[in-house]
Structure 1
């Protein structure tokens, strides 16, 4: 992975001249990441968020908001917004996911600490940014109809799909009141040497429902969270946050919305971007979605899925179909 154009000039201008630069694992976007190591300055992470595909300003804005309210977001060392370069604090490599793979006995304590951060976020004035409005919720669930349904060759009525989801989501649109990080899960929570948890990958934050990030954490698209642990942590959150809404129904609804979106996204990552490995996550996503749809308040949504995507279809993968013609 070649370093971005202009990197040497950027590092030299900000006191990191002569540093060693090596790639680190990225995510599902156009962003790339490099570790920068200097004998004098120590380590940093370079985010390469090249325009026009990426814009690093939302990341910087949310990072500064989180740091201002004593959450552990990476410190911003230097920026070049024209090139999309951001030099930021290196949180190391100890992600929550890999740590728990080795130290499963820490699971309860680590998840409670992650939930404690969400409880604090509920009590913190929301960041100045866009709302998680109905248009956004609908645009996300339509990723299923735009990518998964054609990939599986399933006919459906788009207006019926939109009507079912609009009716289901309407009750939560009056509960948009907290900063929602939107991708808060075990691969984006870093376990730091000082015992704190660092937060990364929050550039898409919106003002939305307090249950959304809890869904992201406890219905993790990339890590199995047992139903027993999910129930335990939901009870812990309810006890510590004392939510005002019809919390469990809203949690199930947002879980269904998010998991529907992710099934569409993972299909798109395969079909459009050639990232076939994301198809291996679909069985987990269907299992999570089915748990959410079991809530009585989601009966109309469950009926739509049972009618259009029955179990035998959910258990097959798009690669089994000849959809390239």
Structure 2
């Protein structure tokens, strides 16, 4: 990746004149990241080019989290006109690779990740838009908007909307907290090689139900999470917070909603954006979705899926499309 044209001047203005600018792996958005190195110092340069990206939500939420003691990157420089942000460098060690390569550390790191959510949920929600019924519907509709057409299914949209509407009350009841929305092992960094977890990719945060980020973590679209580990971590959260059966229902409703959304998003990344690798992640997400649909509270939504999406049409849309 070539650094943005304004990077050198921006860095010079923020005390990093002459620093080396090295590419860092990006994500599924238009944002790009570079490591800035000067002697024994390093920082991360975020390139969030307008109009495709707006770094202000990331900056605001990072400062909100940092003020409450959470390990979000400190912001060291901002140029909103050019979409440039200079922030802390948490290094390259992610929770994802750590637990994949060192299975013995998985329980401890997942406990640490759960404990961050427990602490976060003790605070009132930040100044964020609500994770309300229209948002839940709009996200769930990504499956019928992208996945169904990609595999040749003409879905009953009215029935889909009605089925979800019957179950969303569970996801709208209860406490309202800051929902980071993309809280999973690839966005949790082991700062300095320690077990202290740093937070990334929270710019889309909303104010909603506390179960959502547990779903993000324990039904991880990018890695398999053992159902036994999922159960143990849910039990830990519930034991410490006192959450009860209503939380379980909300967890599965939001799990089904999130997984339906992700199937749609991954299909869109393949079909529209040419990012082929995301299509191959869909079978895992379908497995999570089917587990959530098995909960009795999801009966109306399960009935819709059974009537509209046959079992052999649930998987990698690129493979199914090629059949």
State if a TM-score over 0.5 links the two structures: yes
Distance 2:285 2:223 in 1: 11
TM-score if structure 2 supplies the norm length? 0.97
> What displacement does 1:173 show?
1.8
Which structure 2 segments of 5+ residues have no match?
A: none
Show the counterpart of 2:58. Answer: 59
Residue of structure 1 in register with 2:318 after alignment: 318
Residue matched to 2:168: 169
Q: Distance in 2 between matches of 1:188 and 1:316?
A: 24
- Using the TM superposition, give the Cα deviation of residue 244 of structure 1 relative to its aligned residue in structure 2, in angstroms: 5.7
* Alpha-carbon contact 1:49-1:55 (below 8 Å) kept: yes
Q: In the alignment, is the contact (CA less than 8 A) between 1:181 and 1:204 conserved in 2? A: yes
| Structure 1 residue 28 corresponds to structure 2 residue 28 | yes
Is 2:215 aligned against 1:215?
Answer: yes
1:294 aligns with 2:289: no
Q: Secondary structure at the match of 2:198?
A: strand
**Segments of 4+ moved more than 6 angstroms:** none
CA 1:156–1:320: 2 relative to 1, 3 Å: closer
Matches within 5 A, 1:1-325: 1-39=1-39, 42-175=41-174, 177-193=176-192, 194-243=194-243, 246-315=246-315, 317-321=317-321
Deviation per CA, 1:224-262, whole angstroms, max 9, x where unpaired? 101111111111111011126601111000000000000
Whether the 8 Å contact between 2:57 and 2:204 is mirrored in structure 1 is yes
Deviation per CA, 1:147-196: give whole Å up to 9, x if none: 00110110122111111111211332233510000000000000112541
SS in 1 for 2:77: strand
- 8 Å Cα contact 2:155/2:308 also seen in 1: yes
8 A Cα contact 1:60 1:76, kept in partner: yes
1:6-44 deviation digits (Å, cap 9, x = unpaired): 11110111110100001100100000000000126x000
Alpha-carbon distance in structure 2 between the residues aligned to 1:50 and 1:304: 40
3-state SS of 1:117 partner: helix
CA–CA distance in 2 between the matches of 1:219 and 1:46? 30
- Please give the root-mean-square deviation of Cα atoms over the aligned residues, in Å: 1.4
- Give the drift of 1:316: 5.3
The DSSP-based 3-state class of the residue aligned with 1:79 is strand
The Cα shift of 1:5 comes to 2.1
Q: Can you give the 5+ residue segments of structure 1 that lack an aligned partner in the other structure?
A: none
State how far apart, in whole Å, the 1-side matches of 2:252 and 2:13 are.
49
Q: The residue matched to 2:69 in structure 1 has which SS?
A: coil
| Alpha-carbon distance in structure 2 between the residues aligned to 1:262 and 1:315 | 12
Task: Point out the more displaced range, 313-322 or 173-182.
Answer: 313-322
- SS for the counterpart of 1:45 is strand
Residue 156 of structure 1 aligns to a residue whose secondary structure is coil
Equivalent residues of 2:238, 2:244 under 8 A apart:
no
